[in-house]
Amino acid sequence: MKIVVIGGSGLIGSKLVTKLREQGHQAIAASPKSGVNSITGEGLAEALKGASVVVDVTNSPSWEDAAVMTFFETSTRNLLAYGAAAGVKHHVALSVVGTERLLASGFFRAKMAQENLIKASSIPYTIIRATQFFEFVNGIADFSTEGNKVRLSTALIQPMAADDVASAVGRIATGVPVNGTVEIGGAEKFHLDQLARRSLAARNDPREVVADPHARYYGVDIGERTLLPGDDAQLGETRFETCGGGHPLVDLSKRGRFA
């Protein structure tokens, strides 16, 4: 089938396109680099012509409250409108586990707005909520660094490898729309401070990780289980140690923290 991946040149999108093509699908990597812009609508009609599935793995270039809301609302409205006109049968969007529990953040308010627009549309859909990625653990540490100390919550987190995220998104996108939300997560739970400590040690990073139960997560107060998926989540197989404990992972913190 023809599957258009919006954000197809990013971390998840590029992996997803490769996997779909290996399975014999006509996967289109759509992004501004290829002349497809979900904000302006440029190239969308042509890209979506004959498409059965649209997968949205885009991320906002800005986390400023107004900018991120404008990005997700504008992009999603365009994708839904052009998708409906093209006869798309399945709209898939990658979101974040715990979004409804993190609404003190403008980013998560924007993700919730995105989800609500998809639910209100006429196109059958599946929203995939993923936990944080292994690849962004060092970005979390950077965001929480004060001097030579990294102050992090002791809350639990169940991160997953980007490759497992792409595999799950591909499997769900080629399946039947659930008209609801599917959660995906990693194989193991960690305390956030513990995970960062192990990751920094694997990279010979000398910063000290300080466990602080009251530390915020990207500016949001969180409880012990705020970042965890539900018991029915689909879990990836890659474990933190098998990917080198974070050592070989590319530092992608500047490319977005969740998608």
The count of other CB atoms within 10 Å of the CB of residue 40 is 12
Provide the edge-to-edge strand list for the sheet that holds 180-185.
26-30, 2-6, 53-56, 90-96, 125-130, 180-185, 234-235
* pLDDT tens, N- to C-terminus, the chain (259 residues): 999 999 999 999 999 999 999 999 999 999 999 999 999 999 999 999 999 999 999 999 998 999 999 999 999 999 999 999 999 999 999 999 999 999 999 999 999 999 999 999 999 999 999 999 998 898 899 999 999 999 999 999 999 999 999 999 999 999 999 999 999 999 999 999 999 999 999 889 999 999 999 999 988 999 999 999 999 999 999 998 776 544 434 333 333 434 3
- Report strand pairing: 180-185 vs 145-146: unpaired
CA–CA gap between residue 50 and residue 54 (Å, rounded): 11
Give the H or E element holding residue 57: none
| pTM of structure | 0.92
Give the H or E element holding residue 103: none
The count of other CB atoms within 10 Å of the CB of residue 231 is 6
Those residues whose C-beta lies under 8 Å from the C-beta of residue 72, and which sit 6 or more positions away, are 60, 110, 111, 113, 114
